[in-house]
Structure 1
Amino acid sequence: MSYSFVVEPLAIQDFESEDELIERCKEWNLLSGSATRPKTYQYKRQGLSLPCEIVGYVDNQTVVIQFENKQHHCIHPAYLKEMQTASFGQRGFSATEAKTEEALEEGGEITEAEEASGEGALLDADAVGGDGLGESGVAEVAESEGSEAGAGSAASAKQTAPESKPAKPAAKKKAAVQLPEDKLKITAVVKEFTTVPNHFSDNDDEVIIYEGITIEGHDLPIEEVWSSHSATLKKLELKEGDRLSCEAKIVAKKLTQHPVKYKINNPSKLQVIPPEG
C-alpha cells in the first residue's frame, strides 16, 4: 500500500553514522539528552497513526522519514515532535502548530503543514521542490480575482500605447548537472575550513570546502564541493592544500552562506595523497 500524501525528497542527506543520527535527533528535540539509540516515531494524519523512522534530512529544518512500506516523506522536526503527543489530532489547529506554521512561512522553508484534524485545514508543502516550493522551484499562483477587468484594461492599453521595442530573449538556463546515484571515486584539494550556522545547536557546524575536483570515470562540471568536518576527517589532521582521495556520493546541497552547490556524502576509504616529488 502506498500513501498519496507523501512529499518525496529530491535528495536525501544521509547520516554518516548512527551516532550522528542520535545527535541530530537530540538537536531537533526528538530524543532526550540521555538517549543512546534511535527510536520509532508515529506519523499521525486524519485518524491514521503510522510507524516511521528518521532516515535522513534535506536541511536543518526538513527531516526525511520512512514508513513501513519504504516510502519517504519530508516533515519539519517540530511538527513530527508535535505528532508524538497523545492529544495530537484530537483538537483543532493548536496555537503551537499555528506558531510553527507562521515561523516556517516567514523563513521561506516550509516543509509540511498538514491536516491535523477535521477542523483545521492545513496544506502539504515540500521544502525541496514539491508543490512549487523550495530551492528548486518558485510557487506558481494563479490570480483569478479581477481577471475580467484586467483583460479589459489590457485591451485598452494596447490600443493607446506606443509601439515598444521587442523584448530581449531570456537568457537560457544552464542544464542541471546529472549526478550519479552510486558512490564515486573522488580526488579533491582542501581549499578552506569554515563554519556555518546551526539553528538547532549553540555551536556552528564545522565544514570543509574542496576545489580541484576529479571524479574517476565521469566528466562533471563541478569545481567545488563541501563536506562536514566529521570526527573521521579530523583524525586525518587535514591542512589547506592537502589532496584527499575517497569514495562518496555527490549530492546537490548548497552550503549555507557560500556559493558551493554540491556536497560529499558518506565518504569512505579516506586517504591523504602525498605531494608529488
Structure 2
Amino acid sequence: MAITYPHIEESDLTHYISPKGEYQLFQDEDHYAEKVREWGLSSTKEVKKEFWYKDKTYQRLVTIKGYEEFGVSKTFNTLVIEFQDGHLSCILPDYLKDMQSSNFGKEDKVNKADAEERSLSSTRPAEKPKAENIKKAERPKLELPVEKVHFTGIVKQFALSWNHFNEENDEVVVLDQVQIDQENPIDVGIAWCSHSKTLKKVELQLGERIEFDGKIVKKKLPKGKEVEEAFILDEPASFKINNPSKIVRK
C-alpha cells in the first residue's frame, strides 16, 4: 500500500485568498467537531484535524483555523485554513471536501497528457478520433422554451457571483439535475438563479430536490470576485433561471 506524503510548502506556488479582517474562531473542541461534521469534512468518531490541500502538481497538509460567515442570514461559510508555514487562506467547504478525494486533479493530468499527444500529431500517422470526443461533438444544442415552464432540480450549492452593474458580489443558488417538465422533458444539467427574497423565504437546504416555475435563458454564471473556489462544478453553469416561483419541496 502506497503512503502519500505532503510536499514541502512553497509559498510562490500557492494562490492564497486571505480572510477579510476578523473571522470566527471555534469556541472549543465540541464546537470544532460540530462545524466540521456540518461541512461534511469528517464522519469518523475522532474528528479529523488535518486535511489535504491539493493542486495539479502538489499537495499540502492544512488545518482549519476558523470560518467566515456571509449572506443576509449568515448561513453560508468560508473556511479559513492554515498552511504549515503559517499562511492563511479562504476556501469553500465543498471544495476542501473534494480535495480529500484520491481522484482530485487526475482529470487535469489527463487533459495535459492529451495536449502533449496532440503536439506530436504532425510526426505521427492520423488516428481515429476517440469515441467520447465524437459523442461530445454530436451532442445537440438545447432548444430553450421562451415562455415560463415547470422545472425540477436539486440544490447543489450556494455561492457568490460578481455583478458588474453594482460592482459587488450577489448571492446565487446553483442547481443540479435540472429538468424542464413537459411532454418531452429537457435535461438541462446545471443551472443557476439569484438567491432572491422569494427563495430565502423557502430556506432551501443543500441536496434537497425542488420543483418550481420560471423562465430559462442561456447565461454563464460569472465568478464571484476573490471567491474563485465557489465554482468548482462538474460542468459549466451556462443557463440561468429567472424569477423562480411556486417552489415546492419534493
Give the structure with the larger strand fraction: 2
Establish whether TM, by shorter chain, passes 0.5: no
TM-score interval (norm. to shorter): 0.3 to 0.5
- Give the TM-score normalised by the residue count of structure 1: 0.35
- Give the TM-score normalised by the residue count of structure 2: 0.39
Rg larger in 1 or in 2?
Answer: 1
